[in-house]
Amino acid sequence: MASTADRRPAVARPGLTRERIVEAAAAVADREGLHGVSMRRVGRELGVEAMSLYHHVAGKDALLDALGDWLMVQVERPSADAGWRVGIRARCVSLRAVMREHPWGPAIVESRRAPGMALLGHLESVLDCLHRGGFPVQLAAHAFSVLDAYVYGFVLTEQSLPFEPGGDVDDLAAEMALPADVFPRMAAFVEQVIVGRSYDYGDEFAYGLDLVLDGLDARLAAASPDSR
Amino acid sequence: MASTADRRPAVARPGLTRERIVEAAAAVADREGLHGVSMRRVGRELGVEAMSLYHHVAGKDALLDALGDWLMVQVERPSADAGWRVGIRARCVSLRAVMREHPWGPAIVESRRAPGMALLGHLESVLDCLHRGGFPVQLAAHAFSVLDAYVYGFVLTEQSLPFEPGGDVDDLAAEMALPADVFPRMAAFVEQVIVGRSYDYGDEFAYGLDLVLDGLDARLAAASPDSR
DNA sequence: ACCTGAACACCGTTCAAGT
DNA sequence: ACCTGAACACCGTTCAAGT
């Protein structure tokens, strides 16, 4: 059918680049988990030997660093022309959305130590938004800490839930069959907020985020009593 | 010196048990990171071949599950005779302390899906504390979600910080040398809250925790307007 | 019952060799 | 300059064999 030497995909290989390698790694991670991202596996994804990757990427660690950056560029930055609360809220929602789409996100954030350029740029835009909103530097530091802890932590707990986002929660509740005499409060919880209520844990995200934003609002007002 | 066949540690090996295996795994994780926990490595830690472990533990996954449980039993449960806020605050502080002592904690929480008995028991005690404090079930669910997200997230971000808890932050600030024209807000941040101020990121934990607790307090008061 | 050695199919990385 | 094959020191896990 094709010419004789044509054992690779018909599309002419555009040549290996760092970018293509990172994208292939992300694809593998999406499909098989971070666990599945190996130099050999990523190489195979690109129709290339693992060793070829080393010409564009220093090693596996550098590849994972790049993967973290690849993730952060996708997070929406707070727009310059909205109030701090709207801007920050949108970026938190976006951060969570990106992490939800790529469940290996939190793990990679945790394992990386050196912040890449994408992450630094992102931090800058968040700090800038808070600054424009009237946050003194000290309070901005507090705000940044609580907000990021909350968002990352939510994604983390969300992922370690024993049920799938869209899955049938009732089944699980029956399956776990918590003995009501040993775990009375958990049994009550399952019965009253889960079974038959089409409980979506994802809804908790907005509740907690608004709670944190309310708290920051109050601290901001206390810090600058003159503003209206 | 010793008898001829004595090539193992002089202390009579107490025989392999599941408990000893888990403890050895924790020791390896503390010393070399979760990355270093391999069946072979844990076996060596115990002076035993890796394959022997399989007689007490189903496989590496089961070992990691057990490691997660081993962690959770160390977390202080809210005492029955204090107010919800005191009890919950203490358990959050304890949870963070445990995770700080074992930096592989969050990673293991994230990677495990099935909650072990220790985790279930812990959850029960937290829900019970909230219940005694007058939280309606729905609000308790919210509270649980925000609190755990915050604590885990804080530990996570704390660990991915580019500086060590006790390390000299000033050095890092100089080393990163953020160009003030590209990252003006971050430069201001470094200058005003870090350099020469012996900044300890760990202090942010209490600030955010109290902010969240304040928020829950307000929600609780709104939900039950009759109580004092 | 508990432990082991050899084996299998994987890893990341180096290095000399090809084009 | 870019890609490769063989090699090295590792993985988790199976299985037949030892005691």
Q: What is the pLDDT of residues A107-118, one digit of tens each?
A: 888 777 777 788
Q: Which residues contact A149 (CB under 8 A, 6 or more apart)?
A: B149, B150, B151, B153, B154, B156, B157, B208
Asked if B212 lies within 8 A of A211 by C-beta distance, the reply is: yes
Q: For residue A94, give the amino acid letter.
A: S
Contact between B29 and B71 (Cβ < 8 Å) = no
How many Å apart are CA B221 and CA A33, to the nearest integer? 43
Asked if B146 lies within 8 A of A146 by C-beta distance, the reply is: no
The separation, in Å, between residue B54 CA and nucleotide D13 C1' comes to 9
User: Can you list the domains of chain B with their CATH numbers?
Assistant: 14-57 (1.10.10.60), 71-165+200-227 (1.10.357.10)
Asked if B214 lies within 8 A of A218 by C-beta distance, the reply is: yes
Contact between B84 and B118 (Cβ < 8 Å) = no
The separation, in Å, between residue A22 CA and nucleotide D6 C1' comes to 27
pLDDT value of position A151: 97
More confident residue, B99 or B227: B99
Count Cα neighbours of A108 within 13 Å in the Cβ-side half-sphere: 30
Please give residues of chain A from 22 to 41 whose alpha-adjacent beta carbon (CB) lies under 7 Å from any atom of strand C: 37-41
How many Å apart are CA A2 and CA A47, to the nearest integer? 18
Which of A114, A124, A150 is the closest to B149 by Cβ?
A150
pLDDT value of position A11: 38
The separation, in Å, between residue A51 CA and nucleotide C17 C1' comes to 14
Whether pLDDT at B10 is above 50: no
Q: What is the mean pLDDT of residues A31-48?
A: 93
Q: What is the mean pLDDT of chain B?
A: 85
Whether pLDDT at B7 is above 60: no
